[in-house]
Each structure stands twice: as C-alpha cells, then as structure tokens.
Chain A
Amino acid sequence: MTATTNAPAAPVEVRHVTVVSRKAPIALASFTALFALLIALAPREGSTNFRLASDGDFVTLPALVVPGTATAWVCVVVAAVLTAVAFAYVRAQRKVPLWVSAVFAFALLFGFLAWAGAGSARDFPVSTLIFNTVLLAVPLVFGSLGGVIGERAGVVNIAIEGQLLAGAFTAAIASSLTDSAWAGLFAAMVAGVTVAAVLGVFAITYKVDQIIVGVVLNVLVIGLTSFFYSEVLVPSAERLNSTTRFGPTPIPVLSGIPIIGPALFNQTVVVYIMYLAVPAVWFALFRTRWGLRLRAVGEHPQAADTVGIKVERMRYAGVLVAGAVVGIGGAFYTIVSVSSFNKEMTAGAGFIALAAVIFGKWHPVRAALAGLLFGGASALRNALDIVGAPVPSQFMLMLPYVVTILAVAGFVGQSRAPAADGQPYIKE
C-alpha cells in the first residue's frame, strides 16, 4: 500500500492479457454434430405432443404439437448458428457469454425431446418434467450448498454422502416417533451437524488429511446406519420406520401460473426451503462480514489470522453450518420422497453433489444450478420412459453422465478451488 502512494507519478501501463479458450465453441460444435448425426441416422416419423397443462389447472393450455424430426432439424440449425456466434466471440478475443450456452442447451434439449417423443401415442408431460427436476434436485442442491460452504472455509467435504445418509436415517426415526415431519427435518439437521462435527474435530483440530476423514466418514455412516437398520429399525418398523411425510403445499397465487406454477409452487416445504437457501447462502458468503471472513480463512488462513480472525473457529462454523444444510437434503429421502429408511438409500447422491460443487466452481448459485442439472437428468429419464425411449434405456440413463463429462471438459475446464482448500492451518 505504502509503495503505491510513494511511487513516482509515472503512470503504470497495465497490459490486459485475456486468454480466451477455444474449448467452448469446439464443445458446442461437437454437441451439434453429434445431435445432427443422431437424427440423421435414426429419423423418426410422426409428431410430438408436449402436454403443457395438467388436470385441474387454473389456466388450461392446449397441448403443443410439433412435427418431430423437422423440429429437431430446426433445433440443429439454431444450435449451429449459436456455435458460429461462439466462434465469432472467440475470434474477437472475448469470452462466450452465458446466454449463448444457455440458449444452446435449451435448443438441443427441445430438439432431443421432439425427436425422442415423435410418433409416441402419449403426450410428453412438460410440467411433470419440471416438477420432478426440482424435486429430485433437492438432496443434490442442499448437498452442493453444504459442500460449497465447507470448501470456501478451506475444509474439503467428501462426507456429503455420509451427512445425507445420516440425515435420512435420523429423520426417519424422529418423524416416526413424533408423527411430525418438522421433527424429522430438525433431527436430520442435527445428524448433519454431528457428522460435520466429527469431520471438524479430525480435520481442523487433529489436522488429519481431510480427504481421508471424508472417505472414512462415508464408510462409517453407511456401516452405522445399515447396522442399526438391520438390528433396530427392521424389528420394530411400525414404530421407528414409518415416517410422517410433508405433503404438497401450494402457494396461493403463484401455483396458478401456467406450466411452471404447478411444477414449482405446488411442492413440499423442503423445496421452498431450497428456493430460499440458495440465495441465502450466496448472501451469507458474499455480502456479509461472516462470509468474507469465512472465505478469507479458506483462501489465505495466515493472512486471516494476522488480521485477527480466529481461523479454526471460523472453519468450525463453516463446517457445522454446512452439516446442517446437507442434513436438510438428507431429510428429503425419508420425509419427502418415501416414508421409510432403507440401507444406503442415498445411492451416491453425495458424490453427485460433490461433482456439482466442482462443476459450479465453488459458487453457491452455480453449484445449485449444477445440482438442478443432475436432477433434471434423472427427471428426463422418467419422462422418456413415459413416451417410450427410441434407444435402449441404458443409453438414456447414461446420457446425463456423458453430458456432464463433456460439459466439464468443454466449459468448466480448469476449475480453481479456494487456495487453502483441504489444507489444515497450523498456527506459527
């Protein structure tokens, strides 16, 4: 600081060097080419019906009927134009704006659905697709939000899976015993915090490698919940493992909006908590003093310590808050989705959430969007089952993961973690 003020008046030329990667347009081009190849090799007859309204809607829209293959080709053209736009941006040494990628993704998705649903006797349920996308994304979004908070504080959380599973387990017991879904939700948060506390003790206090602790905690929680499931929950399933679930709570005016109303605003309370949690986490991390300190201990703990921030206390705070957030996501399984706990019922969702954290570049909103993308992939699978998928179902099921790999390779590329992520802070 002092060097700048004492420097001679000679203006310092700041050279702006922007390195623009060609990866994004190349990825767009390859997506377009692949899709064109698909519909060229397997053209489908007939038209596709997109059902926009469900029974009992306030406003009933007619179904949108489009010719399948022709619509798909139109989407290919749109995608090709957007690819050209992306190349133009890169030639002009500018980054490809987000809207290009977003419109591109929408065009390809729409084209794919038109192609897949062509000739099917059944309507393609658009509203149900959106509804399920949001619903299935709940544990992934909460998991990734927790992951972002922890990693911003400098603690890698591989144990998201364990926290989700512990949340689901305790939510099941608490909700069954008290007949109250809210009690289940609270118990799940406590469980998430408990796992987080163990993570904190080992990773922060005892400075154990955080990846080791996380991996081991996952195994530990899987073992504990499975053991007590067999020994305690199964023998008295009536009393301990039949939960009271949250029912759908329509929001008065908003749920009457066509298409998105019933999909987004006729959900359970946990989904509404998710809508609030994403901006809340963003605000807490980027607009409050607490968030600034949290990010400081994750980026440069020495510097944070120098200015008087208690590094370990801050990291504990981050890890414990993250545990509570992930716990809510775990509650989804037993008090929203189904009404009983089962062994390993999270089935790797914690790892998908971890992928969403990295995919979202450690930013809460982007990570939540990535979680939504994975949720959408699962929902799409169900929707395509309804219209009858034109390709073997296993390839449909595989698609979201392939797209993720391509997207991570093409768009995200080198993602930068918080600088002190995963490093224990040893005070000098």
Chain B
Amino acid sequence: MSAESPEPKEQAVAASDDTTAASTEPASSGGDRWREAYFRIISGGWAVSLGAVILAVLAGSLMIMVTDQGVQAALPYFFARPGDTFAAIGSAVGGAYAALFRGAVWDFRADDFAGAIRPFTQSLTMATPLIAAGLGVALGFRAGLFNIGGKGQMLVAAAAGGWVGFGVSMPFPLHMIVAIVAGVAAGAVWAGIAGVLKAFTGAHEVITTIMLNYVAFYLVSYMLATPGLLQAPGSSNPKTPPMQDTAVMPDLLGPRYNLHWGFVFALIAVAFVWWLLNRSKVGFEYRAVGENPDAARVAGINVPRTTVSVMLVAGGLVGLAGVTQVLGTVTTGFSYDIDAGIGFDAITVALLGGSQPIGVLFAAILFGAFKAGGSVMQAAENVPIEIVTVVQALIVLFIAAPPLVRAVFRLPQPGARWTRSSRKEVAA
C-alpha cells in the first residue's frame, strides 16, 4: 500500500484537508460529458447496493462451494482434471441459486403463468409480517428508540388477535376487524409499557424490551397450557384451536395462492407511516426527539409523551405483524413459536430499509423472497436455509459500509473525496 501511495507531503495535505484532496482528484474534472455521466452512475447509491448484493452472493457461493460434496470429490484431482472441479462448482452454486430463484420469483418449471408466478406471491406472503414489524422498528429508530421487543409484541398481539379470532362469534368483516384491532392494541400496550418506563423512570428501552420479550413468551406459554385461555379444548398440546372462518383474512388472489389481505394491510401501514413521519406534526416531533431530545425539549416538545406515543405506534405496527401471522398465514391454530424470529428479522429489515417506510417495504420484500426461496433451495438442493441468513446479513453489512464496497469495486466516492491517501489516513 505504501508503495502505491503518493509522496508523504502530498499525503499530509490530502489528509489534513478534504477539499484539497477533492480539487486534486482528476477523475471528475474531465470535460467529457459521457465520462461525467458514467462517473455519476458508478458513484451513486444504487451502484453500492448492487455491489453489496454481488459481494454477498459471492460469499454465499463460496460457502456452498466449500461444503458441496461434488466439489470435495473433484478437488483431489484438480491438477489432473481441473474441468471436473469447475463443473462441480458450477452445478452446486448454479443449482442452489436457480432453486432460490425458482422458489422466490419465477418457477420456470411450472406449466402455466399462474403456476410460475406462485413463488412471487409466496415471497409477498412471507414479506407481509416483515413489512409491518420492520415499520415498527424503523419508527422507533427514527425517534431514537431501539425496539428489540418485536418478539414479545408479536406474541401478545397474536394471543389477543387469535383469542378474538377463535373464541368470539361475529359476522365476517366485523370479526376480522375486531380481531385485528385487538391484536394491534395488545402490541401497542406491550411496547407502551417500555415507553412509559422510559419516559417516567428513564429505564433504558433496550433492557425493558428484551425483558418484556421473555415475559411475553412465558405469559403466552402459560395461556397456551391453560384450558379456557388459549389452549384448544380437549387437547394437551400448547396450541390454540383454528381460527373461525369469519376472522380469517381472505385470500387476495384466490385459493390457489397463499397471499392474503394482510399484505394490503401492510401496504396501508407503509402509507400511514410515510404520512405520519413526513406529513404530520406528530411525526415531526418523533423525528425531532430522535435527532436531539434536548433541542426538542427546548423547542417545546413534550419528550416523555412523545416517547410513549412512539412506542405505542411502533408496538401497534409490530402487533399488526403478529395478527397477519395468526389470521392470514397460519390460520390452523398457533403455538408460542408463532413469531418465527420475525421480531429480530424486523431489525435487519429496518436497517436495510434505512428506517424509511418505502425502504422498509422493499427490504421486507427482498427478505421475504429470500425466505421463500431458501426453503425451496433447502428442499431441492439440500443447501441449509441458513445460507440465506448469511447472505442477508452480508448485504446489510456491505450496504452499511459504502466505502468498503467502493474500495472493492474501485468505485469513486460521490464528490470524489475518496482518495487512496485519505483512506490510508483513516486506517491509521
């Protein structure tokens, strides 16, 4: 690295003053319009996102490669017949990603269009709770609160919504709506506890939401094991009876697909959060408290009240995720694993989505596609579904670190502030 770096004197100048470095950078100062346009494209945000996805997929391929038995069988005679090794790598990696694609987007083995599109609707079904829960976590982030309590909020919401769903009799649309409201309210109350404690005693929300996860888990476990609360009558399993038909969210595209109205509710939630954050006074207060609580207080914003209100809305959104699970995806009764790790996945979704409602929507769909495709990949190619987790994590990690991706792909920094010498300075 030191051999490549410029003279020490120039390096010192570049390090001490970024604008100097920018003005000495020759790439952007060219008069050629095409070069400038090209430069703008490769220094833009989407180039970094694409680079992040490429890096993550490459890392995933490497993992498939080193653990594939065909590759391991061909590797010992690599120097005699290298073609065998490459063919084995190709079939292992290619097969896995083809299966992922087939399970997440487009089933090219299906006979007709309706069958081919089914995986995509499956991805949207998987994305539905991630959208709602991701919005809840993202809203917390915008207000400076770290809500790790998605698991607990989903569990109590599923319990409340599920109880209304199977235990009460009402006509169709009303029953579903009442069940949704009950679940959303339960999620809101559960997160609201953490909000109230934070606002009035200063208890850190990271501790209280983690602890409330466990409390909710044991509370729901108790209710599932107690006849008359959530346990199905005549059964000793910790499982609820199936939901009544009047409470189930109808299929969105007919009985052939699993996609249900919960997806529409999630989209409505996206619009609501977008409006809340960007167009409402309350949302402005949320963001102000998130940016600087002291300044917000001086400006006349009631910070404790805002904290409580953020947690209530965030918990309600996560609660919606719990309700869509029990009334839409798993309507045959549920147990204490109904949250399926979504409460924690939601954190990654919110981070990938940059805590923006639209970003959360697309991040959740991407993760939903990975989830749907991952199970097909596991079944068809015997690749453990955890590889999807690794690829997801790497994507978020690389997207969070644009300088790293730019360095790997030699992409220029926007404004061309990124020079080799300044990077060396940062590393030192």
Contacts and interface: CB of A to CB of B under 8 A. Distances in A.
Interface string A185-215: 0000000000000000010011011011101
Most chain-B Cβ atoms within 10 A of its Cβ — which of A223, A413, A427? A223
A397 interface: yes
Contact of A230 (B222, B386, B397): B386
Given A202-B397, A401-B215, A415-B202, A358 B207 contact: yes
Interface of B: 63, 67, 146, 148, 197, 201-204, 206-208, 210-212, 214-215, 218-219, 221-222, 225-226, 344, 347-348, 351, 384, 386-390, 392-394, 396-397, 400-401, 403-404, 425-428
B426 A205 contact: yes
A392 B215 CA distance: 14
Contact of B204 (A231, A392, A394, A415): A415
Interface of A: 23, 202, 205-206, 208-209, 211-213, 215-217, 219-220, 222-224, 226-228, 230-232, 312, 348, 351-352, 354-355, 358-359, 392, 394-395, 397-398, 401-402, 404-405, 408-410, 412-415, 427
B201 A410 contact: yes
A212 B351 contact: yes
A409 B393 CA distance: 34
Given A394-B221, A409-B197, A227 B63 contact: yes
Most chain-B Cβ atoms within 10 A of its Cβ — which of A205, A231, A359, A397? A231
A245 B406 CA distance: 45
A295 to B, nearest CB: 20
A20 B219 CA distance: 36
B231 to A, nearest CB: 13
Contact of A219 (B210, B389, B401): B389
Contact of B211 (A211, A217, A397, A405): A405
Contacts of B404: 202, 206
B387 A223 contact: yes
A408 B397 CA distance: 32
B202 A206 contact: no
Given A212-B400, A351-B148, A409-B203, A220 B390 contact: yes
Contacts of A228: 67
A394 B222 contact: yes
Nearest to B63: A227
B397 A216 contact: yes
Nearest to B423: A205
Contact of A402 (B215, B344, B351, B401): B215
B351 A216 contact: yes
A404 B208 CA distance: 8
B152 to A, nearest CB: 10
Given A205-B426, A223-B389, A226-B384, A212 B208 contact: no
A222 B225 contact: no
Contacts of A212: 351, 396, 400
B351 A231 contact: no
Contacts of B222: 392, 394-395
B401 A227 contact: no
Contact of B393 (A220, A230, A402): A220
A394 B214 contact: no
Contacts, number: 136
B17 to A, nearest CB: 10
A211 B201 CA distance: 24
Given A23-B201, A202-B401, A220-B397, A226 B351 contact: no
Nearest to A359: B207
A355 B206 contact: yes
B368 to A, nearest CB: 16
Given A213-B397, A392-B222, A394-B221, A358 B206 contact: yes
Contacts of A404: 207, 211
Given A208-B401, A215-B347, A398-B214, A223 B393 contact: yes
Contact of A216 (B146, B348, B384): B348
B34 to A, nearest CB: 31
A83 to B, nearest CB: 18
Contacts of B226: 392
A412 B400 contact: no
8 contacts: A202-B401, A205-B427, A206-B401, A216-B397, A223-B387, A226-B389, A227-B387, A397-B214
A358 B221 CA distance: 28
Most chain-B Cβ atoms within 10 A of its Cβ — which of A232, A351, A359? A351
Contacts of B215: 398, 401-402, 405
Contacts of B219: 394, 398
B241 to A, nearest CB: 20
A276 B211 CA distance: 29
Contacts of B225: 392, 394
A160 to B, nearest CB: 12
Nearest to A310: B428
A232 B226 CA distance: 41
Contacts of B202: 413-415
B69 to A, nearest CB: 9
Contacts of A208: 400-401
A208 B403 CA distance: 10
A47 B358 CA distance: 63
B204 A395 contact: no
A48 to B, nearest CB: 25
A354 B389 CA distance: 23
Contact of A227 (B146, B221, B384, B428): B384
